[in-house]
């Protein structure tokens, strides 16, 4: 009885924290001159937290059949956690935005959907997955949790590389925004690390509701809610629009930054790259970027990108490890999305088609 009473107190705590999350969202609506992107990400992640906490509460009072469905939804949330954290960082750290393949996030939902079909329809071929391994966890649960952990761990490691302001050791001169995003990132990462820890504990302590229902994860969610409430209450400017610093008229300085960015980050490899995307990476407004390209390259945006693509294409084609690649494969590697676009861009830059260009190179080498 004592264990049940303790568990009910924890569930009641989760319920209170869910309402604290609702209060936090209402508080954010009162902030004047909000940044729309930051606000959207903030409301999204806190709504997600509220739903997860309420699922833990509802699960406690459900019958065994419905409990299994709620457990699945909670596990599904595991797959969504990494992408959700990336979504928040992407919208808060605008000056550090990096490209990430959108389809990669679809992997999580595809895997989760596969497990959902197996569990809900109880397919005959996969009944062995229902075998208990660490009661109440089945083989399917462990595969689901294990896959989700690996996926999220990779995603969090990738985020740490993509966003330079994320650091292990705190810096003295960090801005309020950096403090918020760093705290959010590391608390979110701890949530993922506690998943395998909870599973390991189940191997030694069985029959304890706190670990069987993964309430240790719920506790981290509550810490996130209270930390956000305290931080936003003290520093509402985190959600406000940042006044743009007047852009320098020294376009040569911007061009140097742009050229370094193109060579180091190689954003032109993204076939969907737009002026807005590149200007965000550069930290300039779109019209400034267009002005820099026009003044220093005398090209439009598309020709500017294609110049870098063609140059890298030639560089790769001359390397031994790429000799087995077709021209089309190499063209796609550097950011071209069609053969016709590649041929036109190549001829525009070299006055030759790719085949003639490399034949003339071979002839010159033979003469040399």
Sign of the four-CA dihedral 196, 199, 204, 208: positive
3-state secondary structure 52-65: HHHHHHHHHCCCHH
Angle between helices 301-317 and 339-350 (to 10 degrees): 90
DSSP output for 288-313: HHHHHHHHHH-S-HHHHHHHHHHHHH
Say which residue, 137 or 27, is predicted with more confidence.
Answer: 27
Cα 17 to Cα 48: distance, rounded to the nearest angstrom:
13
| Share above pLDDT 90 across residues of the chain, in percent, rounded to a whole number | 32
Rounded alpha-carbon distances, angstroms, from residue 201 to 133, 187, 204: 13, 20, 5
Question: In the chain, which ranges are E strands?
Answer: 132-134, 137-138
Q: Give the torsion through C-alpha atoms of 31, 242, 90, 78, to 10 deg.
A: -20
Q: How confident is the model at residue 95 (pLDDT cuts 50, 70, 90)?
A: low
Mean pLDDT of the chain: 81
| Share above pLDDT 70 across residues of the chain, in percent, rounded to a whole number | 76
Q: What is the pLDDT of residue 245?
A: 45
Q: 111-120, 183-192, 279-288: lowest mean pLDDT where?
A: 111-120
> Is the model's pLDDT at 102 over the cut of 90?
no
Cα 346 to Cα 131: distance, rounded to the nearest angstrom:
59
pTM: 0.61
Q: Which position has the token pair 């679809």?
A: 106
Cα 182 to Cα 185: distance, rounded to the nearest angstrom:
5
For each of the domains in the chain, give its residue range(s) and CATH number, in order of start. 2-239 (1.20.1070), 248-298 (no CATH), 302-368 (1.10.10)
Token pair recorded at residue 214: 């993964």
Token pair recorded at residue 330: 């190499």
Side-chain half-sphere of 227: how many Cα atoms within 13 Å? 17
> Is the model's pLDDT at 103 over the cut of 80?
no
**Which residues touch 7 (CB under 8 Å, ≥6 apart)?**
60, 209, 210, 215
The closest alpha carbon to 259, from 294, 308, 314, belongs to 308
Side-chain half-sphere of 37: how many Cα atoms within 13 Å? 12
Longest dimension (CA), the chain: 92
Mean of the pLDDT values across residues 235-251? 67
């Amino acid at each position: 009885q004592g264990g049940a009473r303790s568990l009910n107190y924890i569930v009641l705590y989760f319920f209170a924290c869910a309402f604290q999350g609702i209060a936090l969202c209402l508080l954010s609506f009162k902030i004047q001159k909000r940044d729309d992107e930051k606000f959207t990400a903030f409301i999204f992640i806190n709504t997600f937290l509220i739903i997860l906490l309420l699922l833990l509460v509802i699960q406690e009072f459900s019958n065994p059949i419905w409990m299994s469905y709620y457990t699945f939804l909670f596990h599904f949330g595991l797959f969504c956690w990494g992408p959700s954290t990336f979504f928040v960082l992407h919208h808060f750290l605008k000056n550090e935005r990096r490209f990430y393949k959108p389809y990669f996030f679809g992997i999580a939902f595809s895997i989760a959907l596969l497990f959902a079909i197996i569990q809900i329809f109880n397919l005959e071929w996969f009944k062995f997955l229902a075998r208990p391994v660490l009661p109440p966890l089945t083989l399917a649960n462990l595969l689901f949790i294990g896959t989700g952990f690996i996926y999220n761990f990779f995603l969090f490691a990738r985020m740490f590389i993509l966003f330079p302001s994320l650091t292990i050791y705190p810096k003295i001169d960090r801005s309020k925004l950096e403090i918020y995003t760093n705290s959010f990132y590391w608390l979110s990462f701890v949530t993922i690390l506690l998943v395998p820890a909870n599973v390991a504990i189940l191997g030694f302590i069985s029959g304890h509701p706190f670990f069987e229902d993964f309430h240790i994860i719920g506790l981290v969610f509550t810490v996130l809610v209270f930390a956000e409430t305290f931080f936003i209450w003290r520093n509402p400017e985190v959600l406000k629009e940042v006044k743009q610093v007047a852009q320098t008229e020294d376009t040569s300085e911007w061009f140097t930054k742009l050229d370094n960015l193109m060579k180091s980050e190689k954003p032109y490899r993204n076939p969907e790259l737009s002026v807005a995307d590149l200007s965000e990476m550069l930290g300039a407004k779109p019209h400034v970027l267009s002005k820099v390209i026009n003044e220093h390259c005398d090209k439009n945006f598309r020709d500017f990108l294609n110049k870098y693509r063609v140059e890298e294409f030639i560089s790769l084609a001359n390397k031994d490890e790429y000799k087995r690649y077709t021209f089309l494969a190499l063209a796609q590697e550097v950011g071209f999305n069609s053969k016709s676009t590649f041929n036109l861009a190549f001829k525009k830059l070299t006055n030759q088609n790719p085949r003639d260009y490399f034949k003339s190179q071979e002839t010159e080498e033979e003469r040399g």
